[in-house]
């Protein structure tokens, strides 16, 4: 009897339409208009049971709840190509771009067959006026692929606006450090990672410049004031800082391989210098001397910064550490590092954080690597003057109930120029009612973009 029950279950799974390669993916978003649904709910302010228990543990960082819930606009990344439901792992790994016209650019990929040339990777644009998320670039279509050439499977480096208003981005492999392996067949047209340029005026994307051959990057930023694109070079004999002049397309600086330590974050300072993780201390690339200057400050229990803000007007960089998941502030001029306690409860992996325009708050979302939903997917506001951690919303329960979507975390977060809206490119998975059997409940497989409108009362001076 048990055998036949097992047979019935297996046949039911195989017969499920969710298993068919031609099943549309992403799923339909209930109540959506032009692909976007608007969510308003007091449930955003309900503390999940798991968090109620965790906040009582010794050493857990205290937090308060917002009094007024945000309005959230949510859209799935669409137009994923044929058999999208069977791709390996739709996911987003890099920081997003808030352009000067208010539009937001973000990227996703399928983490698929990069070495065989079968991976997919796309750039999208969120229009805050139309409230639409539109695919604007098929990254692997920019350079026609020759047989046997690799394909980009994700966007891990930051998407940025260049000084001329074009959008700059760089694709990478499932693991950029593999780029030097002989099975990756590079060519003159595709010698390794490339900086691509999307022109919003024409809708066209093209190659802007090449990174050094057979190198890739997962970490970048643009210094728009000085017109320099900075990144960490992978796939050499260690990590190295590299800067490219966006006007001349000439190298500004290239560090020796191995001179950069933990490579997932660095900070742009007010004078154009770059603060990054060395092997045993913070290191500053000095924009004046073009030399690397080791600092005395270091994170004793961590590999270093994982998320960081720009330098504030009073000389501080705020951020969150890797591994220990602690908030910190670093005074650039005094070379002083201060630890500010766990970023969320006992600490949770966080990949990006931003200042509010008035530099009163730091915004972030804990649980980047798919695990945010275990704590309800909190959206955090840290008040610098008081050290108060405030949850603006727990996204998970409302999104699952209203959209069959479980938001799992983010690597890309920006704040609108007026400080009223948090833009987040989300990883996540589908709820059980629409989830294909191949998709695990680990916070990946279904990507979404969210615009979280913060009530004025939650960001005004008290």
Asked whether residue 1 is domain-assigned, the answer is: no
The tens digit of pLDDT for each residue in 250-268 reads: 999 999 999 999 999 999 9
Same domain flag for 243 and 137:
yes
- Quick check: 113 and 178 in contact, CB under 8 A? no
240, 264, 288 - which closes a domain: 264
Same domain flag for 165 and 111:
yes
Asked whether residue 59 is domain-assigned, the answer is: yes
Please determine, for residue 4, whether its predicted confidence score (pLDDT) is greater than 50.
no
Query: Per the structure block, which two tokens stand in for 391?
Result: 């949850």
The tens digit of pLDDT for each residue in 147-161 reads: 999 999 999 999 999
Mean pLDDT value across the chain: 95
**Residue 19 pLDDT:** 43
Same domain flag for 105 and 223:
yes
Share of the chain above pLDDT 90, in %: 93
- State the CATH number of the domain containing residue 122: 2.120.10.80
Same domain flag for 197 and 62:
no
* SS3 state at 382: strand
22 pLDDT band (50/70/90 cuts)? confident
11 pLDDT band (50/70/90 cuts)? very low
Please determine, for residue 112, whether its predicted confidence score (pLDDT) is greater than 50.
yes
**Residue 20 pLDDT:** 53
Domain encompassing residue 188? 95-264
Asked whether residue 278 is domain-assigned, the answer is: no
Same domain flag for 195 and 67:
no
208, 236, 264 - which closes a domain: 264
Q: Please tell me the distance from the alpha carbon of residue 32 to that of residue 100, in angstroms, as a whole number.
A: 27
231, 249, 264 - which closes a domain: 264
Same domain flag for 62 and 186:
no
Domain count, the chain: 2
Select the more confidently predicted residue: 10 or 75: 75
Q: What long-range pairs does 334-338 form, CB within 8 A, spacing at least 24?
A: 335/295, 335/296, 335/297, 336/297, 337/282, 337/297, 337/298, 337/299
Asked whether residue 167 is domain-assigned, the answer is: yes
Strands 389-394 and 64-65, bridge-based pairing: parallel
Same domain flag for 61 and 162:
no
Same domain flag for 68 and 142:
no
Q: Please tell me the distance from the alpha carbon of residue 208 to that of residue 188, in angstroms, as a whole number.
A: 14
Asked whether residue 296 is domain-assigned, the answer is: no
Sheet holding 353-355, edge to edge: 64-65, 389-394, 378-383, 361-364, 353-355
**Residue 113 pLDDT:** 97
Same domain flag for 243 and 359:
no
Asked whether residue 327 is domain-assigned, the answer is: no
Phi, psi of 166 (to 5 degrees): -80, 160
Same domain flag for 103 and 216:
yes
Share of the chain above pLDDT 70, in %: 95
Confidence (pTM):
0.95
Asked whether residue 79 is domain-assigned, the answer is: yes
The tens digit of pLDDT for each residue in 356-399 reads: 999 999 999 999 999 999 999 999 999 999 999 999 999 999 99
Asked whether residue 303 is domain-assigned, the answer is: no
Same domain flag for 355 and 422:
yes
The tens digit of pLDDT for each residue in 206-223 reads: 999 999 999 999 999 999
**Residue 392 pLDDT:** 98
- Mean pLDDT confidence for 404-411: 98
461 pLDDT band (50/70/90 cuts)? low
Please determine, for residue 60, whether its predicted confidence score (pLDDT) is greater than 70.
yes
Same domain flag for 365 and 439:
yes
**Residue 15 pLDDT:** 40
């Amino acid at each position: 009897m048990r055998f036949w029950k097992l047979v019935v279950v297996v046949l039911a799974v195989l017969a499920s339409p969710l298993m068919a390669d031609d099943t549309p993916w992403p799923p339909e978003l209930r109540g959506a208009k032009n692909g976007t649904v608007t969510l308003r709910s007091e449930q955003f302010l309900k503390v999940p049971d798991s968090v109620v228990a965790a906040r009582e543990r010794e050493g857990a960082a205290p937090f308060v709840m917002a009094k007024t819930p945000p309005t959230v606009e949510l859209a799935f990344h669409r137009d994923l190509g044929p058999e999208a439901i069977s791709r390996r792992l739709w996911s987003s790994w890099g920081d997003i771009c808030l352009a000067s016209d208010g539009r937001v650019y973000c990227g996703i990929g399928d983490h698929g067959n990069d070495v065989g040339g079968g991976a997919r990777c796309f750039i999208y644009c969120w229009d805050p006026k139309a409230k639409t998320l539109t695919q604007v670039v098929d990254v692997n279509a920019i350079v026609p692929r020759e047989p046997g050439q690799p394909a980009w499977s994700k966007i891990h480096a930051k998407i940025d606006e260049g000084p001329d208003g074009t959008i700059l981005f760089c694709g990478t492999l499932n693991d950029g450090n593999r780029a030097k392996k002989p099975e990756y067949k590079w060519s003159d047209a595709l010698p390794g990672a490339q900086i691509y340029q999307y022109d919003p005026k024409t809708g066209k994307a093209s190659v802007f410049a090449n990174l050094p051959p057979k190198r890739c990057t997962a970490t970048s930023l643009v210094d728009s004031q000085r017109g320099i694109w900075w990144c960490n070079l992978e796939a050499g004999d260690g990590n190295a800082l590299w800067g490219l002049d966006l006007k001349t397309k000439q190298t500004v600086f290239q560090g020796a391989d191995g001179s950069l330590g933990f490579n997932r974050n660095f900070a742009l300072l007010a004078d154009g210098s770059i603060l990054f993780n060395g092997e045993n201390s913070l290191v500053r690339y000095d924009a004046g001397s073009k030399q690397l200057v080791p600092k005395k400050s270091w994170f004793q229990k961590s590999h270093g910064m994982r998320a960081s803000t720009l330098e504030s007007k009073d000389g501080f960089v705020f951020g969150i550490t890797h591994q220990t998941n602690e908030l910190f502030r670093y005074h650039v001029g005094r070379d002083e590092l201060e630890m500010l306690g766990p970023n969320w409860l006992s600490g949770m992996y966080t990949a990006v954080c931003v200042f509010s325009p008035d530099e009163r708050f730091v915004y972030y979302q804990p649980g980047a690597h798919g695990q945010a939903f275990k704590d309800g997917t909190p959206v955090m506001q840290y008040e610098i003057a008081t050290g108060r951690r405030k949850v603006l919303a727990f996204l998970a329960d409302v999104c699952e109930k209203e959209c069959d979507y479980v938001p799992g975390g983010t690597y890309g977060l920006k704040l609108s120029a007026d400080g009223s809206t948090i833009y987040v490119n989300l990883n996540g998975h589908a709820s059980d009612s629409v989830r294909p059997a191949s998709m695990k409940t680990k916070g990946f497989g279904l990507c979404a973009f969210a615009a979280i409108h913060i009530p004025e009362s939650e960001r005004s001076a008290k």
